[in-house]
Structure 1
């Protein structure tokens, strides 16, 4: 949000997890802790102020890292959560089946503890408690909408020296009206959960209806009501994704053009947005605009690792196999944490008739990986098809 607004340079210290947060089309930048230390020292030597901005948990405030001693100041903001919207998630994570009201009480207790550890002058717990029945302010348990994100932004911006208040308040207002920086979703809420929350969210019945239609792949029904969905949720990435899927399935060029374009504008860090726009251009424009899309992806991702995945897939589907291979090889090397990192390369090998090499690469990939990933990776391999090996051999290579 600071990078996208031009207020300050901001870099996340750590690794991306497959979704790159963004604001105004500007991607979050990532770097390792070692890089961060050198970067902070260099910035201070050039006369710039540096800040460590950390999320406070219910048990602790900001963490201490190698670069911490070199920053000018530490700014904290609280973790927020909303397990009450998805009791099934809490049960899966903690093995306990609690009522919505009890989960909501726990959520507020946790938020209070987090905001205390963050020394927050904003009472997130009180605001969330009073707003949650009036409007939808969480996409998923750990992911709030722009309204809550704008409060976090205010807390941080107000502690950064030399920022003009009138400027950051303008950005705060813009964020508050948006869906935020991540639309990963636990919606739709069940009818029972919705009632127990005492929720009365505008047009939520229509929102739930759309997501149900998408789950059932009732594309015609979605397109028949597309005007209503665009009117009420035209800047909601989850809704746009459903409209994209429906329009591509039924070859509705007008909706596909609008929805794929707007999805990239709102959520360029969602790599499927690029691939869906790519599908639109190939389906309706005979590939016209693809080269521009490739350049836009390069510009957005920069040095971020997700670029390798996006360009690898696009070049594969363009049958530019020689160009796709380096991207896919780099993707495997820079994404060891991703159980599916080998999947694009296997598709390419099978597409080019190299089934034996694909099988060998598939087995080599699991060598030394944890057996806890066995079913997950086997599912990826089964989904690809064309691989020939005994699953027990695959499992035997894992540790």
Structure 2
């Protein structure tokens, strides 16, 4: 049997602070600090605490060259412990309890940049209640945010007026008016279904392939209504449909090349609970007629940008491009729209059957009829959506 270290590994020194009453009673401040080393490997489900000696062992092993265990500075028992936690890999066939070795191999074959892989793997949420976190921090309203956090940095850094000059105003057209009406919707009308025509038009505008360029039988470039790094368009739309005429509520995958829906298994917990968990209990979004998990195919982008420092960045930019297209399309059709990054990615991965190494939920957006009443506050300073109450 030969061994090697996992390919992507970051060793981080962390300080853990806990309150201990005994420390306070003995004259301390009650805060006990412990320093430890943590290994971050994106093919594993969680960080792994390692000793200083294990850290040194990992530093002597190659991630690419197989060596015999006896060639390392570790004992058989120390190597076995690192194999068990997934930081060291064996050359032999994968056996029981070695699922991490299969995941690590998929990670190698996906051409991730190391820092991008670590960022993606360890910023994913699971079972996080974003609403409760906001309530616990006392930052629910704008006033309370100011009280707790202090003043924010200025939107524009002050500059000397004598060195600046005014630009000419231009007459507004229909597109300018559309932009001014764009606002995040936090009040959806769940008393009436969305028409099939509007639903279909939204998906076609935002996510569908509009045209294609066939280079060869296995290389086709698509044209969509939003830009994409390298023209690769890795983002797929996984739908949570609640109220659309003629479509059974449930989970679906949108096929962008053919403008079709593929039904997926219904979540065991029920659709509404699944959605609430997906958006971190943000109930003001959970009433949307259709919610969309934006799921990139990382392997598609990294096929071109192999271990590229900007590869992950262009994928995340695409989520922003798509959400703005969704906002403007919905506004044009008289609908409300939203996008949120406060999502439980691991929950969505389980529900849609995604492999987070090659796929992963980046954000959830949605659209539907606006409510006639604003029960949850919305930011509409131009009063383009809501008229000021007298």
Q: TM-score, normalised by structure 1?
A: 0.22
Q: Which has the higher strand share?
A: 2
Greater relative contact order (CA < 8 Å, ≥ 6 in sequence): 2
Q: TM-score, normalised by structure 2?
A: 0.22
Larger Rg: 2
